[in-house]
A and B are shown apart, each in its own frame.
Chain A
Amino acid sequence: NAGVTQTPKFQVLKTGQSMTLQCAQDMNHNSMYWYRQDPGMGLRLIYYSASEGTTDKGEVPNGYNVSRLNKREFSLRLESAAPSQTSVYFCASSQTSGKFFGPGTRLTVL
């Protein structure tokens, strides 16, 4: 039981490049989330998915898209990366009791 896994762990992009952050969970959770963490800002919700086939915007969705491919996987895509998207990204999944977080992806956009 791996919990929540994320790939890659680290990534450096140039402005304008695109990439997809992958997230998978093996706990059969319905809900999945993408957060970004910036100093002094806490965690901010980018997008979430209440169940397979549904996605909704969170607090800071601009510049991102998501796909809930199946119950296990929830990917986050940056179509045209900007320096303001330099951050640590966390994926999480949950049922009714708290959230389980992945280890994070540290993204730098030059």
Chain B
Amino acid sequence: AQSVTQLDSHVSVSEGTPVLLRCNYSSSYSPSLFWYVQHPNKGLQLLLKYTSAATLVKGINGFEAEFKKSETSFHLTKPSAHMSDAAEYFCVVSDRSGGYQKVTFGTGTKLQVIP
């Protein structure tokens, strides 16, 4: 079975402090994992992806995520939050169950950055 759980619906951080957005997944196959960001009234943008290469993945805008198979987690981090990071973030799992690429989106985490 494939599923993804974003553990926090809202996260609030002060500008300049670290960001941690948590994601746990389940997959019966070797999954690919993604983080997308959506700014208000904008479309979805791919931040980073894991596809069975290096477990620490670096994305755009200083974000990175670490794939931990033993913990079935793919948490998104950034050392220092910027005001422009305020947005909604979606964790996504994808695998080829049944011979077709199946994709599940998490319910999203809204990141608030306080000046």
Contacts and interface: CB of A to CB of B under 8 A. Distances in A.
A102 B90 CA distance: 16
Interface string B84-115: 00000010000000001101011110000000
Interface stretch (B14-22, B41-49, B61-69, B71-79): B41-49
A101 interface: yes
Contacts of A31: 101
A102 B43 CA distance: 6
B44 A90 contact: yes
Chain B's interface size range is 10 to 19
Interface in B13-59: 32, 34, 36, 42-46, 49, 51
B33 to A, nearest CB: 10
Interface string A86-109: 000010101011111111100000
Interface stretch (A13-21, A38-46, A68-76, A77-85): A38-46
A98 to B, nearest CB: 5
B101 A101 contact: no
Interface residues of A, number: 23
Given A31-B101, A33-B103, A56-B100, 12 more contacts: A40-B107, A42-B90, A42-B105, A43-B90, A50-B100, A90-B43, A96-B51, A97-B51, A98-B32, A98-B46, A99-B44, A104-B43
Q: Which 5 A-B pairs have the closest CB atoms?
A: A42-B107, A101-B44, A43-B105, A103-B43, A42-B105
Interface of A: 31, 33, 35, 40-45, 50, 56, 90, 92, 94, 96-104
